[in-house]
Amino acid sequence: MALAMTSTLALGFLAACGNTDSASGGGSSSETVKIALQAPMSGGSATLGEAIKNGAAMAVEEEKADFEEAGFSLELVEYDDQGDPQKGVSNAQIIGSDQDVYGVVAHLNSGVFIPSSEVYERYNIPSVSPASTATDVTDRNLKSVNRIVARDDFQGPAGAEYAVQEIGAKKIFVINDKTAYGQGLATAFAEAAAEEGAEIVGEAGITVGEKDFNGVLNQVSSADPDLVYFGGLYSEGGLLIKQARDNGIDAAFMGGDGMDSSTLVEIAGDTVNNVYLTSVAGDSSATEFAKNYEEEYGAKPESFSIYGYDSAKVLMEGILDAAKENGGKLPAKDKVATAVRAIDDYEGEMTQVSFDDKGDNEFAKIFIYKFDEASYPAKIQGEISQ
Amino acid sequence: MTQVWDTLPQVLIDGLTLGAIYAIIALGYTMVYGILELINFAHGEIFMAGAFIGTAVLIGLTGLGWVAVMPAIFILLLVLVITGGLTGMLGMGIERLAYRPLRKASKLITLITAIGVSFLLQDIVRFITETQQNNYIVNTPSLFPGSLSISGLNIRYSFLVVIIVAILMMIALEFFVNRTKWGLAMRAVAQDQDTASLMSVNVNKVISVTFFVGSALGGATGVLFAIHYGTIDPYIGFILGLKAFTAAVLGGIGNIRGAMAGGMLLGLLEMFAAANLSAITAGLLSSEYKDVFAFAILILVLIFRPEGLFGRAAIEKV
């Protein structure tokens, strides 16, 4: 509370300063620093993109004062990537050619971030993603590319740890949907669960688009597991859960973030209880941020809003660090990229941030959710650190 | 091996459900092929459209309060009749607009037209669904909830409904084809169009009726599918249509009894493989190879009986 008061005071003071500056007519001291934002603001995932944008906009608004003090005027520029890699890359070109852009809060979709980041790298503009989880985002070892959420390949092991240690599963049946995502997730889970000491009593695959999974479920009922793990998406996941319950299988189910959808609940209906999900996004509803967000936008933040906020904050922290090193003058963009990568133990609202040498956040967590009734979203159960 | 025996009764039940659905869709393929030698790839989408129309009617009736007061079996009949009628007309319309103008063209052109029609139907249904709700996956209200449990065997009421209605539909079709004047005309046209027309059979009308009957059966199967599985999307017709077509070939394409037997056999084989493949091969192959297993059997059958299980080798017309 006290903090908020001082910052408002500081704001007022600085605003006054700015006025006198422009009145005296000499004010070339304030150079423009732009933070760019790219997220899908139209199309299927527009709600999430919009949420990330709102989070980042709040962060920029809050930092304006600090930047003013350092002699920079801060600005957020928004681009709609439409969830489309081509659109993302062409926006990235525009961002790259803008001299004033010193950082990008970059993309919801990994598929868009990966090609666009090649462009950012060329212009040495540091990017921090609030939501891209694909391993390839950071595995290319680009020096400007970072993310604050966990990697995809941590979801399986984190789920396994929770399943064995917290749920107490001893016999686990693993099903995948034969896609790259589902199979990768299921394999990583199975290996980690076996290491944790659980017995994998069966593995099976289903075909995306089919609706009858009774054959596989017959295998499940004769193996009689206490947990079924499904690597795949909500439409098959929902049917699998429903048909399993119809067949009298009451074991717990677990899946990855591909199952995190309200459609899962619609398909499975009341049978959705005792279903666990792993997700890279945590529950921000209890934070100060959520309160401010609701005041500002009149709606509750989405899961990734707070990650948009933290990503923007991390970027701006990096810019200020680099400026300090450069004697208070605007640094070169590659120096900013280095400074962002060097960020250590930054306390964000949602997550602590320290980037490793690839740009992955060492403090990124996997969050475990559970459905107890036919309502979405699921309730948070716990978190697993890397 | 004990696991195979233990699960066998359940596998038979699940396999029969899937098989019955394959069988009736296969009928649509085989009837059209028998009469026009056209593989009507849009038939899977007619089945899908039936599932959607049936669901819409069912939701509509629920809204009117009919479902709560009337016996479920009456509601089912009503939905089947409405849906069958609409999809029958859809099939007839497709024939009239897309296939009849091409009847003298080469078979390949009609085949590609059929594939085009099936894409068109998928996207029309997806478009309409998305105007009603924000995604295209639709949940059908369950008309026959609950199940019987007999000594560890799980029999859902909707299973009984699917099997009984499917068998009734197949008997009715047998009767229609073999005992009625229209059936006689259909068989005549299938044998020789030109001669049939000389015997004062109206060939165009017979073909229209064939499309109507095949599509009505396909649409009604869509309703059964939606009621049994509870979740549908605009793309269910693709895989199911492909499998049903396979079933028609397995039984001998053009042969109605062959399609029924082929469908049942394919459903049972697939379900058996999905449940037992890893047990039989000691974990070497898991259930994801169920289709490979089913199709390997298809290939074996076709090597030894290229005309299919029930088909007769065609005598080359000279």
CATH number of residue B91's parent domain: 1.10.3470
Q: Is residue B72 part of a domain?
A: yes
**Which regions of chain B does DSSP assign to beta strands (E)?**
138-139, 147-150, 153-156, 231-232
A214·B236 Cβ contact <8 A: no
Model confidence at B316: pLDDT above 90: no
pLDDT at A18: 41
More confident residue, A92 or A11: A92
The reply to whether omega before A377 is within 30° of 0 (cis) is: yes
Cα gap B115→B99, rounded to integer Å: 12
Chain B residues with CB-CB distance to A205 below 8 A: 286-288
Q: Is residue B316 part of a domain?
A: no
Q: Is residue A348 part of a domain?
A: yes
Q: Are residues A288 and A275 in the same domain?
A: no
Q: Is residue A362 part of a domain?
A: no
- Distance, in angstroms, between B208 CA and closest chain A CA? 31
pLDDT at A8: 45
Mean of pLDDT values over A150-178: 91
Which residues 62-91 of B are in CB contact (within 8 Å) with A?
none
Q: Are residues A15 and A140 in the same domain?
A: yes
Q: Are residues A12 and A142 in the same domain?
A: yes
Model confidence at A9: pLDDT above 50: no
Name B25's Cβ contacts closer than 8 Å, sequence gap at least 6.
B43, B44, B47, B218, B221, B240, B241, B244, B247, B263
A266·B286 Cβ contact <8 A: no
Q: Is residue B312 part of a domain?
A: no
Q: Is residue B269 part of a domain?
A: yes
B229·A238 Cβ contact <8 A: no
Q: Are residues A42 and A111 in the same domain?
A: yes
Q: Are residues A95 and A186 in the same domain?
A: no
Q: Are residues A145 and A24 in the same domain?
A: yes
Give Cα separations from A182 to A177, A187, A205, A208 (angstroms): 6, 8, 10, 10
Model confidence at A17: pLDDT above 50: no
Mean of pLDDT values over B199-203: 91
- Tokens in use for A171? 């016999």
Q: Are residues A226 and A372 in the same domain?
A: yes
B239·A205 Cβ contact <8 A: no
More confident residue, B252 or B54: B54
pLDDT at B46: 96
- Tokens in use for A149? 């959420």
Q: Is residue A361 part of a domain?
A: no
Question: How many domains is chain B built from?
Answer: 1
Model confidence at B221: pLDDT above 60: yes
Is residue B265 within 8 A of residue B250, CB to CB? The reply is yes
| Beta strand A365-371 pairing with A379-385 | antiparallel
Residue A21's pLDDT band (cuts 50, 70, 90)? very low
Model confidence at A99: pLDDT above 70: yes
Parent domain of B201: 2-304
More confident residue, A340 or A374: A340
Q: Are residues A128 and A16 in the same domain?
A: yes
Chain B residues with CB-CB distance to A242 below 8 A: 230-231
Q: What is the pLDDT of residues B107-157, one digit of tens each?
A: 889 999 999 999 999 999 999 998 888 778 888 888 888 888 877 777 888
pLDDT at A192: 94
Cα gap A35→A383, rounded to integer Å: 31
Average pLDDT of the residues of chain B = 89
Q: Is residue B314 part of a domain?
A: no
pLDDT at B136: 83
Q: Are residues A252 and A381 in the same domain?
A: yes
- Tokens in use for A113? 């971030």
Question: How many domains is chain A built from?
Answer: 2
Query: What does chain A come to in residues?
Result: 386
A219·B235 Cβ contact <8 A: no
Q: Is residue B313 part of a domain?
A: no
Residue A263's pLDDT band (cuts 50, 70, 90)? confident
* CATH label of the domain that carries residue A59: 3.40.50.2300
More confident residue, B127 or B288: B127
CB nearest B231 (choices: A178, A211, A221): A211
Cα gap A226→A137, rounded to integer Å: 35
Average pLDDT of the residues of chain A = 87
Chain A residues with CB-CB distance to B6 below 8 A: 222
DSSP code at position B95: I
Q: Is residue B265 part of a domain?
A: yes
Q: Are residues A219 and A71 in the same domain?
A: no
Q: Are residues A167 and A21 in the same domain?
A: no
The residue type of A64 is K
- Residue A178 contacts B, CB cutoff 8 Å: yes
Q: Is residue A78 part of a domain?
A: yes
Model confidence at A20: pLDDT above 50: no
Q: Is residue B108 part of a domain?
A: yes
ipTM of the complex: 0.80
Identify the closest residue of chain A to B289 by CA–CA distance: A205
Q: Are residues A172 and A192 in the same domain?
A: yes
B275·A207 Cβ contact <8 A: no
Parent domain of A217: 153-279+367-385
Identify the closest residue of chain A to B10 by CA–CA distance: A218
Identify the closest residue of chain B to A261 by CA–CA distance: B135
